[in-house]
Structure 1
Amino acid sequence: MPQTVLIVDEVATNRIVLRVKLAAAYYSVKQVTSGTDALAACAKKVPDVILLGQVGSMQASDFARRLRADPRTETVPLIFLTPPDDMRARVEALQAGADDVLSHPVSEMMLLARIRNLLRDRDAERELRLRDGTQRALGFAEPRAGFEMPAWVTVVTDQPSEVELWLEQLKARVSHRIEIRSPREMLAQDTGGTKAPDVCIVTLPRLIPETGLGTLSELRSRSATRHCAMLVLCDRETRQAAASALDLGGNDLLAGDFDPDELALRLENQISRKRTADRLRATMRDGLHAAVTDPLTGLYNRRYALPHLARISEEAHRSGRRFAVLIADLDHFKQINDLHGHAAGDAVLTGVARQLKENLRAVDLVARIGGEEFLIVLPDTGSHRARRTAQRLCQVIRHTPFLAPGHDVPIRATASIGMAMGPLFTAGRGCDDSDLLTLADRALYASKADGRNKVTLSRDAA
């Protein structure tokens, strides 16, 4: 289904010219002559993009504010169309909430590039907001911090002398940390673990703008700078290349005559969007972590452990290497809760979890899969080594005093472990992880029946 562009302009000629350009690019075009009609049209069906020209009696800034105040239309990309070379109108449009500003006569190439760019950004933000909403519904999201540090802005240019004048003007208008770096420095740096700038201001050289486009494309493709906001600057002579900059990863573009107030507004807008995107990504990442983590012990939970076991099993099946599946269960754990209280029981569980993590390799899987039951998977491990590891875990737990709140005397605990070896091949089915878990569980019951605080290896999987 084609995306819809709503044109708002009381001048019929402007509407006709824009409609022809957009229809040729297969957009569905709707036209109205006033801001009032535009708001009514949005109430019936929200468009994908709005082009705002002359809107009659309603001020364009009033229309923008009313549009942004409605939750249904607050994220709709809004492009203001201003008279040629009217710098004040451009600044006022950005202040009113415009996502972008184009001047008449509107270049078809630039118009379509701007629309594509804004729609990509809108779709990415909507996806993040959708995931954020899901995390909030699950109770994983945290409130947004009230204070934010100044942003880090890097001007990427091979000609620092040409940017010094406007850079001083920009610094007088914003309070962010601003530095100048060459493309070579940006692309050659070792970014492993190094924080990237919040915004990169990339300049397109007048003589060879393609070098600036190449830098932009490289910055966008690299993992260290992939999520940086990219603001592209060019003069009138490189406007032809400017449209390509938006398709190559630029988030915003300032083309033509330079105005420090406009640049400051565009920079603040990009910083705000970058921080929103960062927060939404962090919320999604934290929510995913919470979804697969046991909140008491910090270990992985069953939701994570079973698919991970399946991947370990698949890799073992391909490589022919063995792996061990251990199920550990604390002995007489109900008595701990009954005698000392559930807070003490929780302290024992967290202590056992800590001991398991500290006494296993980084590649080993440790998960809490039940009340006092833990799943341990040892990749690339034979049965003798796995048995020694399991016995060592039993000894560590038995000799560890667990401190509980309100108790002066440490609590002692032991664990029984059942073990099975993979990969397991069953007739006609190949390897089956559920069978391995069943065998390890049976071995666990054998350890319990044999006096507890023991390790039993399932013979069927040995």
Structure 2
Amino acid sequence: MVARGRVLVIEEVPSQETFALWDGVRAEGWDVTAAPLAATVDAVRRAAPDVVVLNLHGAGDADRRALYLQAAGRLALTRTPRRPPILLVGDAGPDEKPLGVADVIRGPYSARHVAQRIGSLSRLSTMQQEMMRRVETAGQYGVVPPELEPSNQFHEPKVLVVGAGIRYFAIERTLARRATLVGAFTVDTALDYLERQAFDCVVLNMRVQEAAEFTARLRRNVDHFALPVVVLADPREVDEVDAAYAAGADDVVFHSGESAIFAERVATVLKEHRLRESLKAAYARSRDRATNDALTGLFARGFLLDHLSRMVEAAAHGGRLSIVGFRIANIDEVNRQHGYAAGDHLIRQVGTVIGRLVRGEDLAARPGGGRFVIVLPDTHVDDAAGVAARLGAVLRATRFALPGASEPVSAEVVSAVADRIDGDDAESLVARVTL
């Protein structure tokens, strides 16, 4: 079974606690190996990890701890084919993020928690790599993509806080200087705000099960499918956080009195969201007749195959690559009943929805007819299946207005998911999901 990615843990004296932690991260699908501090640089070059974890639990005294932090700086300056992000786990100060460290995790946390943060860092790295690959492929067609512009760089983020209770005031004190806050004490009020205003993040201040139900509801809505969701939970609910993640929450933070930790986690989610939005905006500005499908604006078959060839080659050296295919099963029926103009209109609208819902690093294309393909770099096939299920649910729940039809029409969408296997090329991979 293909792992979700490779994690290299740097630690000197593993404890029973950290043994259990890394076993839990392995259970989440990550390939975890360990190396001592002295072998850090060599281990990174040899293992080519997706994420490096510096485990301060095994650091010992203050002098030894300082050596760990120095190692982070050295790694940041080391030349490797892929420079992995560094995650610090352990007793760092609330505002401490040393040179070279991309993110910090402080307690309390679970293995699922740590695995989720590892995945988030890996995704940020993937986004940056995919942007460079996309530029190279576009260059084959004589297309020069616009430079990446940070989304909303000069705009203060707006955060919707949902839920009543005394913790709301702690959230307000924590985030007020970092974002514009809007409070909604009930779910109905929150949904009303979301229909009328644009938000950069939602914080759910409620029981984890209620938060999972609310998140699942958001993920069924085209407009809120990718909106970041952070759940603020009671530490006693640690065994219930899986439900929130399964529903589509981006992070779960335990209310522990450390306001700086909570603020940092929200900032991390916002950073990832803004980078994704920036990538999607850059790709939209670079649309060209040479690379994009005229009907939907998604990438055309030629660009799909050329770019996928690069991705297959990269994945052959230890990466992961998954692909999702969608087909409008009733497109022939729509053409017969309402005419080809209506069929084209349905294809265009389905393509528009897919283009809106995919992540910034994913490539959405229309190979032809009523078929669509989404390529997901560095994505485990189980995660790709989740993407297919959520996106398919949105498409099937949407009614489309068509010319010549007296009532809105549903798209009967079927899907397939595959991951790269040995011997695959771009053509064979696409063929496995174009039903």
Return the offset for 1:69: 4.9
**Structure 2 counterpart of 1:185:** 189
CA distance in 1 between counterparts of 2:216 and 2:334 reads 41
CA distance in 1 between counterparts of 2:278 and 2:139 reads 13
Deviations 1:211-245 (A, max 9, x none): 11111222233211122222221122222223432
**Structure 2 counterpart of 1:101:** 105
- Is 2:214 the counterpart of 1:198? no
CA distance in 2 between counterparts of 1:62 and 1:109 reads 28
| 1:23-422 → structure 2 map (5 Å cutoff) | 23=26, 27-34=30-37, 36-54=38-56, 55=59, 56=64, 58-69=66-77, 76=84, 78-83=86-91, 89-93=93-97, 97-103=101-107, 107-115=110-118, 127=130, 130-131=133-134, 134-135=137-138, 138-145=142-149, 148-159=153-164, 162-172=167-177, 174=178, 176-181=179-184, 182-188=186-192, 191=195, 196-205=198-207, 209-289=208-288, 291=290, 319=336
Return the offset for 1:6: 1.4
Return the offset for 1:195: 6.1
Return the offset for 1:277: 0.6
CA distance in 1 between counterparts of 2:82 and 2:261 reads 22
CA distance in 2 between counterparts of 1:61 and 1:136 reads 40
Structure 2 counterpart SS, 1:41: helix
Deviations 1:300-352 (A, max 9, x none): 9xx89xxxxxx9xx96995288889xxxxxxxxxxxxxxxxxxxxxxxxxxxx
The Cα RMSD (Å) is: 4.4
The aligned amino acid for 2:161 is V
- Confirm or deny: 8 A CA contact 1:68 1:74 kept in the other structure: no
Structure 1 counterpart SS, 2:15: helix
C-alpha distance 60-290 of structure 1, shift in aligned 2 (>3 A): farther
- Unmatched runs of 5 consecutive residues or more in structure 2: 302-327, 349-435
The aligned amino acid for 2:173 is E
The aligned amino acid for 2:245 is L
- Confirm or deny: 8 A CA contact 1:154 1:197 kept in the other structure: yes
CA distance in 2 between counterparts of 1:89 and 1:66 reads 21
CA distance in 2 between counterparts of 1:125 and 1:66 reads 21
C-alpha distance 256-239 of structure 1, shift in aligned 2 (>3 A): farther
Structure 2 counterpart SS, 1:156: strand
TM-score normalized with structure 1 length: 0.53
C-alpha distance 177-139 of structure 1, shift in aligned 2 (>3 A): farther
- Percent identical pairs in the alignment equals 16
Aligned length: 303
Structure 1 counterpart SS, 2:198: coil
CA distance in 2 between counterparts of 1:179 and 1:26 reads 37
CA distance in 1 between counterparts of 2:160 and 2:265 reads 14
CA distance in 2 between counterparts of 1:159 and 1:95 reads 38
CA distance in 1 between counterparts of 2:333 and 2:235 reads 61
C-alpha distance 316-292 of structure 1, shift in aligned 2 (>3 A): farther
- Confirm or deny: 8 A CA contact 1:7 1:51 kept in the other structure: yes
- Confirm or deny: 8 A CA contact 1:49 1:78 kept in the other structure: yes
CA distance in 1 between counterparts of 2:33 and 2:88 reads 16
C-alpha distance 47-293 of structure 1, shift in aligned 2 (>3 A): closer
Return the offset for 1:4: 2.4
| 1:425-444 → structure 2 map (5 Å cutoff) | none
Deviations 1:409-432 (A, max 9, x none): xxxxxxxxxxxxxxxxxxxxxxxx
> Where do 4+ consecutive residues of structure 1 move more than 6 Å?
320-324
CA distance in 1 between counterparts of 2:245 and 2:98 reads 18
- Confirm or deny: 8 A CA contact 2:88 2:101 kept in the other structure: no
Higher relative contact order (CA 8 A, sep 6+): 2
C-alpha distance 163-94 of structure 1, shift in aligned 2 (>3 A): farther
The aligned amino acid for 2:284 is R
Structure 1 counterpart SS, 2:224: coil
TM-score normalized with structure 2 length: 0.56
- Unmatched runs of 5 consecutive residues or more in structure 1: 295-299, 305-310, 325-361, 366-462
Return the offset for 1:126: 5.2
* Structure of greater Rg: 1
Return the offset for 1:210: 0.9
